Amino acid sequence: MKFGIFYEHSVQKPWTRQSELRAYQQALEQIELADELGFDQVWEVEHHFLEEYSHSSAPEVFLAAAAARTKRIRIGMGISVCLPPMNHPARIAERAAALDLISNGRLEFGTGRSATWTEVGAFGIDPDATKEMWDEVVRAIPRMWTEDEFEWNGKYFKMPPRNVLPKPIQDPHPPMWVAVSSPETAVQAAERGIGMLGVTLGTPADYKRLVSDYRRIIKHCDPVGKFVNNQVNAASWMYCGEDENEARAVGGGAAFNFFRTAAHLVGLGGIYPSHAYTAHANATALLSQAEIQSLREGFPVGTPDQIIENLRYWEEVGVERVVCMINFDQQIPHPKVLASLERFAKYVMPEFAEGKQTSKRGEKSKGGPEAPPMPA
């Protein structure tokens, strides 16, 4: 199993001239360290107008800076909003290909369609059409990357013959993913042969059905790209602490505040009678402070040994990658975030390395319990 980090760039009020600058600069420093420590991937969201929750409206700019500062870590557009009224598909393909070049072939291309009325409504997009828009765009972009003369006459966008430049360096093109928060989308990812990028900060039990359906259906998929990306990437929250109490107070406290802020978002599924949004947006699912600070099942918050135990749940579900949020509005002091990443890399990651014989949940691991805490 491989591990990564992701960012929303949350910035709570009251704001100063330095608030957003601090969030961006500290994130870049954390990504540099994660690259050195052997983390597999970093993902950056695309959101618009979501005050406090996410100030990340130009992820390709941030990711270009991250790519230029790193050598190995995979660079994830997570996700690029594939709605033509918001992002023209040719512009998405161009920006993604440029990122693949800047990163020397490290791009992971995530797709999605947004889930809040704040964003969709601002661009005058019909929520009922977003699923069809996304489907059309994810079929067009691989052709833009691989054809010297691309032409399109679809329902939601049209293009005369053009050579969309630059082309990505990965052959035939970067791996494709879709943000998954419901059983329906897991099925649609599998049908199209693209990776399942979990965006619900849930438990392994929440993912069990999604992963099972995805694995069963992708065996018979009709891929939209030139190859099948049969991978599951789950999202969670991570803080590897000095001890259990410190982890609960620091990591659990920041996680609780993130979920509390997320609960105020207006999800399309909750307010708009649309067949394309049959469920409430995942961001409205608020966990209790007691749940988070009790280190709920599968939640990688705690000591190294506790985190190893919790990650075994994900392993049993069949998840290949877990990507973790590591801060909320810089509530965890920057030095503590860096120390958490170092502990995780030193004591947790080796237990899930390729070729390592895994132990079952409940068995003593050699990685974390007796390891002395690293300085914070």
For 328, half-sphere exposure in the C-beta direction (CA atoms, 13 angstrom radius) is: 20
Smallest CA-to-CA distance from 375 within 241, 248, 250 is with 241
The alpha carbon of residue 276 and the mean position of all alpha carbons in its chain are separated, in whole angstroms, by 21
**pLDDT score, position 376:** 35
State the Cα–Cα distance between residues 94 and 73, nearest whole angstrom: 21
**pLDDT score, position 360:** 64
CB 371 within 8 A of CB 347: yes
Domain ranges of the chain: 2-352
State the Cα–Cα distance between residues 191 and 55, nearest whole angstrom: 33
**pLDDT score, position 270:** 65
CB 207 within 8 A of CB 317: yes
pLDDT digits (tens, 9 = 90+) for 86-100: 999 999 999 999 999
Tell me how far CA of residue 113 lies from CA of 16, 204, 343, 359, in angstroms: 31, 24, 36, 39
- For the chain, which ranges sit under pLDDT 50? 280-287, 289-295, 365-376
**pLDDT score, position 105:** 98
pLDDT digits (tens, 9 = 90+) for 306-363: 999 999 999 999 999 999 999 999 999 999 999 999 999 999 999 999 877 666 665 6
| Residue 245 buriedness (CB in 10 A; 0-12 / 13-18 / 19+) | exposed
| Domain 2-352, CATH homologous superfamily name and number | Luciferase-like domain (3.20.20.30)
CA dihedral 357, 32, 23, 177 (to 10 degrees): -60
Say if strands 158-162 and 150-153 run parallel, antiparallel, or are unpaired.
Answer: antiparallel
Tell me how far CA of residue 154 lies from CA of 158, 194, 285, 375, in angstroms: 6, 21, 36, 57
CB 334 within 8 A of CB 350: no
**pLDDT score, position 365:** 45
pTM, two decimal places: 0.90
For 126-146, b/e burial (b = at least 16 CB within 10 A) is ebebbbebbbbbbebbbbbbb
**pLDDT score, position 263:** 73
State the Cα–Cα distance between residues 256 and 259, nearest whole angstrom: 5
State the Cα–Cα distance between residues 252 and 255, nearest whole angstrom: 5
